[in-house]
Amino acid sequence: MIWLVLIIAGLFETAWAIGLKYTEGFSKFWPSCWTIVAMVISVWLLGVCVKHLPVGTAYAVWVGIGAVGTVIGGIWLFNEPVSALRVFSLCMIMAGIIGLKLAAH
């Protein structure tokens, strides 16, 4: 169950990272509000997770989910470039996340 919470925390990290683009330097009120809410939820859920998981593992998985989600979101929402190297790099990050999850037991 705690791993599901960590995944949700990582998804909220993705949401606030993508939200930063919409805030335009925190100059737009509603996008800034939603981005800040996503930040708070993401960090709060991470805090819940580190009570039960090693902090290094939880943090690395949280960041990894956020990084992968943000890159995919950037490609999908903002037409950021897709290349074989970017896709390979995302696969390596995902492999690291899976490896850390497996090593946590």
* DSSP letters spanning 8-49: HHHHHHHHHHHHHHHHTTTTSHHHHHHHHHHHHHHHHHHHHH
The per-residue pLDDT for 104 is 78
What is the distance between the alpha carbons of residues 96 and 90, in angstroms, rounded to a whole number?
10
The per-residue pLDDT for 52 is 96
Which residue is listed with tokens 């950037």? 74
The per-residue pLDDT for 55 is 95
Report the predicted TM-score, pTM, of the whole model to 2 decimal places.
0.91
Q: 91 is written with which tokens? A: 């696969």
pLDDT in tens, 23-65: 999 999 999 999 999 999 999 999 999 999 999 999 999 999 9
pLDDT of residue 14 exceeding 80, the answer is: yes
User: Binning pLDDT at 50, 70 and 90, where does residue 79 land?
Assistant: very high
pLDDT of residue 2 exceeding 80, the answer is: yes
Rounded mean pLDDT of the chain? 96
Nearest alpha carbon to residue 60 among 1, 22, 9, 19: 9
